[in-house]
């Protein structure tokens, strides 16, 4: 009987006080169990319940059990980074109501997280989930984490974020999402993070930022979007960022024409510091800093069917583009609206088209891109094709004439030298603009376009 009692006593002892094998335990400044770099394959089964800090980083752990830490109610710091954790059982962190810092980073085979993994961690202020091979964050995974201030999600494989993923994180100050595969920054992605100070989105594959994406970010000081694939960003998108101090937008594919106008205007109001924004098109502005351009250099619209086709393709592939906007927004035709030649009739038409319900509008923009692509091929063909060939040559010249310095043939550009608005329809139905100059061309338009409309109506 005494022996049995002794065995039981020895069994109970480690659960209260003694230190697990291969670990070092100390109580100052706080009760700590330090087991890092010990080649451990599993989490010690008995960990002193009074522990406030547990260090298990740089081992070879593969699983976190629901029972691993369940008795350590006073735990405030838990480091599990740089292991080979592939599975975290549901409930692994349940009841850790005092936990303030949880580091699961650098477990590149983890891949998924249970939607309820972080439930009840209402005191957590720092969560490291970088380099975990995550491609998705489950809906509601950060729900109720009202104290979270630092969230590290960089170096994963995340391509989309659900609406309201961070909506409860009103205390969040740093959100690191760089080096992922995010393609579209959506309107509701960052809803609720009203205290965000730093948002790192560089080295993703962002092609488009929706207009209200930053509307809750009035406290944001640093925004990094460099090394993405953005072509257009509007001033309206940037307007809510009233506290912004550091902006990096370099390494994108900026279209420096009328579509950049509102961003250029926004930079006139912006008081913080910004990287360069290297123009990608038009060719004659390539490499120049969008911010430094003269107002006149942003007149007109450059034909960019190549880029837009690429963008459209990646949009289709990303699959989750729920927006009603085309990737380049509805701003594209704006520079044509002031046109007071007869082509404004067509502008009216195209505006009707853009007023269609969202779904149809998206279908419209598909056709729009296709048409534009076709237009370019037609233009190329027409060059070898008698009178129309001359015509398209003129069109090509006028693109270059966007910048007065690039006038190659002064004779053919007399009309464009007049200070009138230089946009008109190049082709029927196409809402993108290019410039025409010779009155013969305009006459041709007046004749051909109505004929096309009539034949369309009749068929
Ligand atoms: C947890 O902390 C509280 C308050 O500091 C203390 O009273 C309690 O004894 C601790 N629990 C354990 C198991 O050490
Ligand atoms: C990580 O764990 C998986 C199995 O869970 C194993 O196949 C792999 O070899 C481990 N990697 C390392 C670096 O230990
Ligand atoms: C922010 O955190 C503090 C404590 O850290 C908490 O009292 C407060 O409720 C949190 N804010 C929000 C909006 O939840
Ligand atoms: C990243 O996600 C894509 C699918 O979105 C997948 O094909 C690829 O294997 C993932 N890469 C890694 C390293 O997990
Ligand atoms: C996207 O951007 C990256 C880096 O900025 C660049 O290397 C890549 O070629 C771009 N992709 C496309 C399709 O433009
Ligand atoms: C849009 O196009 C898709 C196929 O590309 C079609 O299934 C859908 O019905 C179209 N929507 C509308 C509103 O025309
Ligand atoms: C032009 O036509 C060719 C085939 O004739 C096609 O491959 C190409 O995508 C079209 N568009 C452009 C812009 O060249």
Q: pLDDT tens across 394-426, in order?
A: 333 333 333 333 333 333 333 333 333 344 333
Q: 193 CA to middle of ligand 3, Å?
A: 12
Residue 8 has pLDDT above 60, yes or no: no
* Torsions phi, psi for 4 (to 5 deg): -60, -45
Beta-bridge partner residues of 103: 79, 128
Between CA 336 and CA 102 the distance in angstroms is 54
Confidence bin at 454 (pLDDT 50/70/90): low
Q: In terms of Cα–Cα distance, which of 376, 336, 379 is closest to 354?
A: 336
As a whole number, the mean pLDDT across the chain is 75
The two beta strands, 254-255 and 273-274, are unpaired
State the DSSP code for 269. Answer: H
pLDDT for position 294: 92
Q: Which of 52-56, 273-277, 335-339 has the lowest mean pLDDT?
A: 335-339
Residue 335 has pLDDT above 80, yes or no: no
Q: What is the pTM of this model?
A: 0.68
Q: 50 CA to middle of ligand 1, Å?
A: 6
Residue 325 has pLDDT above 70, yes or no: no
Q: Is the distance from the beta carbon of residue 313 to the nearest atom of ligand 7 less than 6 Å?
A: no
State the DSSP code for 373. Answer: H
**Does 46 or 420 have the greater pLDDT score?**
46
Work out the number of other CB atoms within 10 angstroms of the CB of residue 419: 6
Per-residue tokens: 238: 């940037």
Ligand nearest to the CA of 112: 4
pLDDT for position 201: 98
Domain positions in the chain:
321-458
Q: Is the distance from the beta carbon of residue 41 to the nearest atom of ligand 2 less than 6 Å?
A: no
pLDDT above 70 covers a percentage of the chain that reads 62
pLDDT for position 429: 38
pLDDT for position 301: 80
Place of tokens 């930022």: 209
Between CA 278 and CA 282 the distance in angstroms is 11
Q: 135 CA to middle of ligand 4, Å?
A: 7
49-59 per-position pLDDT tens digit: 999 999 999 99
Alpha carbon nearest to ligand 6 atom 3, residue: 363
Between CA 151 and CA 158 the distance in angstroms is 14
Write out the E strands in 166-244. Answer: 174-176, 184-185, 198-200, 208-209, 222-224
85-103 per-position pLDDT tens digit: 999 999 899 999 999 999 9
DSSP for 182-194 reads --EE-TTTTTT-T
Cβ partners under 8 Å of residue 57, min gap 6: 36, 37, 79, 80, 81, 82, 83, 103
The two beta strands, 184-185 and 208-209, are parallel
Q: 84 CA to middle of ligand 2, Å?
A: 6
* Torsions phi, psi for 93 (to 5 deg): -115, 15
Residue 262 has pLDDT above 70, yes or no: yes
Place of tokens 């995340």: 158
Query: What SS3 state is found at 279?
Result: strand
Q: Which 3-state string (H, E, C) describes 399-457?
A: HHCCCHHHCCCHHHHHHHHCCCCCCECCCCCCCCCECCCCHHHHHHHHHHHHHHHHHHH
**Does 372 or 182 have the greater pLDDT score?**
182
Q: Which of 43-57, 274-288, 361-375 has the lowest mean pLDDT?
A: 361-375
pLDDT for position 346: 28
**Does 41 or 452 have the greater pLDDT score?**
41
pLDDT above 90 covers a percentage of the chain that reads 59
Q: How many CA atoms lie within 13 A of 224 on its CB side?
A: 16
Q: Is the distance from the beta carbon of residue 227 to the nearest atom of ligand 5 less than 6 Å?
A: yes
pLDDT for position 402: 33
Confidence bin at 300 (pLDDT 50/70/90): confident
Residue 180 has pLDDT above 70, yes or no: yes
Q: Which ligand 5 atom sits nearest the alpha carbon of residue 205?
A: 1
Is 59 within 8 Å of 40 (Cβ atoms)? Answer: yes
Per-residue tokens: 191: 């809803």
pLDDT for position 61: 97
Ligand nearest to the CA of 15: 1
Q: Is the distance from the beta carbon of residue 360 to the nearest atom of ligand 6 less than 6 Å?
A: yes
């Amino acid at each position: 009987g005494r022996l049995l009692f002794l065995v039981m006593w020895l069994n109970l002892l480690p659960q209260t006080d003694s230190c697990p094998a291969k670990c070092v335990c100390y109580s100052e400044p706080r009760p700590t169990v330090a087991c890092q770099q010990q080649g451990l394959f599993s989490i010690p089964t008995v960990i002193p319940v009074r522990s406030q800090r547990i260090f298990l980083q740089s081992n070879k752990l593969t699983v976190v059990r629901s029972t691993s830490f369940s008795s350590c109610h006073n735990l405030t710091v838990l480091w599990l980074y740089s292991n080979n954790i592939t599975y975290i059982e549901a409930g692994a962190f349940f009841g850790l109501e005092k936990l303030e810092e949880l580091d699961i980073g650098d477990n590149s085979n983890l891949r998924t997280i249970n939607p309820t993994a972080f439930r009840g961690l209402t005191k957590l202020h720092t969560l490291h989930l970088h380099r975990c091979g995550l491609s998705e964050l489950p809906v509601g995974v950060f729900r109720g984490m009202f104290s979270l201030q630092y969230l590290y999600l960089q170096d994963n494989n995340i391509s989309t974020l659900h609406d309201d993923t961070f909506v409860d994180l009103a205390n969040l100050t740093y959100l690191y999402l760089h080096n992922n595969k995010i393609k579209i920054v959506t309107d509701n992605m960052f809803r609720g993070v009203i205290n965000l100070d730093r948002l790192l989105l560089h080295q993703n594959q962002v092609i488009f930022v929706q207009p209200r994406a930053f509307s809750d970010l009035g406290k944001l000081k640093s925004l990094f979007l460099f090394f993405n694939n953005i072509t257009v960003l509007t001033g309206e998108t940037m307007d809510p960022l009233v506290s912004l101090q550091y902006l990096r937008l370099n390494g994108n594919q900026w279209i420096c024409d009328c579509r950049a106008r509102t961003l250029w205007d926004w930079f006139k109001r912006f008081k913080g510091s910004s990287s360069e924004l290297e123009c990608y098109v038009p060719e004659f502005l390539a490499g120049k800093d969008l911010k430094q351009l003269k107002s006149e250099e942003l007149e007109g619209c450059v034909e960019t069917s190549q880029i837009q086709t690429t963008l459209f393709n990646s949009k289709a592939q990303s699959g989750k583009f729920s927006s009603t906007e085309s990737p380049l927004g509805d701003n594209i035709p704006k520079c044509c609206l002031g046109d007071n030649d007869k082509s404004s009739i067509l502008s009216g038409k195209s505006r009707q088209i853009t007023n269609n319900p969202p779904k149809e509008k998206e279908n419209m923009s598909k056709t729009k891109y296709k048409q534009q692509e076709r237009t370019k091929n037609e233009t190329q063909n027409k060059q070898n094709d008698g009178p129309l060939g001359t015509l398209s040559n003129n069109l090509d010249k006028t693109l270059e004439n966007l910048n007065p310095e690039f006038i190659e043939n002064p004779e053919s550009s007399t009309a464009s030298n007049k200070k009138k608005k230089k946009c008109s329809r190049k082709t029927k139905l196409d809402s993108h603009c290019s410039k025409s100059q010779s009155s013969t061309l305009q006459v041709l338009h007046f004749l051909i376009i109505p004929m096309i409309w009539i034949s369309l109506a009749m068929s």
